[in-house]
Amino acid sequence: MNQKILVGIVAAIVLVVGTVVVLHQHKAAAAAQDSEETNVPVNQLLDQASKYEADGDKLKAKEAYDQIISNYPDYEKIEDVQDKLGALNIDLIFSPAQMPQTISYEIVPGDSLGKLARKFGTTTQLIKRANGLKSDVIRTGETLRIWTAPFNILINKSQNVLFLKSGEEVLKIYHVSTGKDNITPVGSFKIASKIENPVWYRNGGAPIPSESPENELGSRWMGFDKDPHYGIHGTLHPESIGQQVTAGCVRLKNEDVEELFDIVPVGTEVTIQN
């Protein structure tokens, strides 16, 4: 091959390789710059949220966390932000703070916590916790803060997560266990029953009382309408959370199922998807 042609080919190859390297460097620099530009407003919003929380302004802190999740879903620590927002949302749900989802209600003769819970589609536990009530006694003329927006639940089996929602807003994400061999049913259900400290009626065996260390249901049970054998409950084995190991039910840590139990009323819609 002519030496001049060979030199030309080599020069062309060097030029192409050099161009590729430069382009790669430019892309890497641009990506790094984009990451830095993203992190600056995220860090600012995180600082704002922390300051608002320290000042006791939970609603403004919630707004800051909401902005991060809405505007920066690719933020590397987005799960930490989701956890912080979830804890904050639960605090707000149980707080006396007035929100778009709540009303102030003045008690009239004949009212009771049970009647108010049924009237407004909430739970007596939520009314009590939000108003600092130590008993079921309420008095005419007193004003209660009552949550009126319906809740709904979405369960994703492949990720073993439960989303507590109000409308389309995700309020908190819980880690759960679902059925082994993918046996947890998919579809739409409603919570038809709620039991504190449930007795476990094991197939073919004697009933196991709630206080027994053999009771697999944990501290709470929320049964589904279409098949009462399935539901959401607690567990004796928190180490199993995040796995597909149950007989078909959805299992949470006891502290999580107790929290959820106090929030969602009978009739709450539950959607389970693969």
Q: Which residues form the catalytic set?
A: 233, 249
The DSSP line for 156-180 is ETTTTEEEEEETTEEEEEEE-BEEG
Contacts of residue 250, defined as CB under 8 A and 6 or more positions apart, other chains included, come to 155, 162, 176, 177, 178, 184, 231, 232, 233, 272
Classify strands 143-147 and 161-166 as parallel, antiparallel or unpaired.
Answer: unpaired
The CB density around residue 207, as the number of other CB atoms within 10 Å, is 10
Whether the Cβ atoms of residue 194 and residue 202 lie closer than 8 Å to each other: no
Render the burial of 144-160: b for 16+ CB within 10 Å, e for the rest: bbbbeebbbbbbbbeeb
Q: For residue 86, what are the CA distances in angstroms to 66, 91, 150, 155?
A: 10, 9, 17, 16
Tokens describing residue 267:
């009739």
H helices of the chain, where? 3-54, 58-71, 78-93, 113-120, 124-131, 254-263
